[in-house]
């Protein structure tokens, strides 16, 4: 039986992969050639908040999925101890990335 933290991380992987696949699929509807061959995400911050009653963890993730535009989508998630699930609470786009991405520009 996985521990609470292991289960929380498994659920996080599921939601991050779901969001990435959804972003890529939504983009492919408009332009099938616009999506990277292998879209990916990177977790930039993973902060456990054991002293917080309401939220047990906060995560910042950057999603890379476009070929032709140098951008990433930043999303923030938090784990609600009360609801026992991850919540999305922030989203923004960052354009004109300084470094080329792998599998892209």
pLDDT tens, 49-103?
888 889 989 999 999 999 988 999 999 999 999 999 999 999 999 997 766 556 5
CB-CB contact of 74 with 64 (8 Å): no
Classify residue 29: in a domain, yes or no.
yes
Classify residue 43: in a domain, yes or no.
yes
Classify residue 40: in a domain, yes or no.
yes
Confidence bin at 29 (pLDDT 50/70/90): very high
- DSSP label at residue 20: H
Classify residue 103: in a domain, yes or no.
no
Classify residue 91: in a domain, yes or no.
yes
Strand spans (E) along the chain: 35-48, 55-66, 71-80, 85-95
Is 79 exposed, middle or buried (CB count within 10 Å of its CB: 0-12, 13-18, 19+)? buried
Domain count across the chain: 1
Q: What is the pTM of this model?
A: 0.86
- Residue 21 belongs to what domain range? 4-95
The predicted structure's pLDDT at residue 34 = 94
Classify residue 52: in a domain, yes or no.
yes
CB-CB contact of 62 with 74 (8 Å): yes
């Amino acid at each position: 039986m996985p521990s609470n933290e292991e289960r929380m991380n498994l659920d996080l992987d599921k939601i991050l992969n779901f969001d990435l696949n959804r972003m890529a699929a939504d983009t492919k509807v408009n332009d099938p050639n616009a999506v990277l061959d292998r879209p990916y995400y990177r977790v930039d911050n993973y902060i456990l908040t054991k002293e917080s009653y309401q939220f047990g963890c906060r995560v910042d993730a950057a999603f890379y999925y476009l070929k032709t535009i140098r951008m990433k989508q930043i999303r923030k998630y938090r784990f609600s101890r009360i609801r026992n699930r991850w919540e999305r609470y922030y989203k923004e786009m960052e354009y004109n990335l300084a470094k080329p991405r792998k599998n892209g520009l």
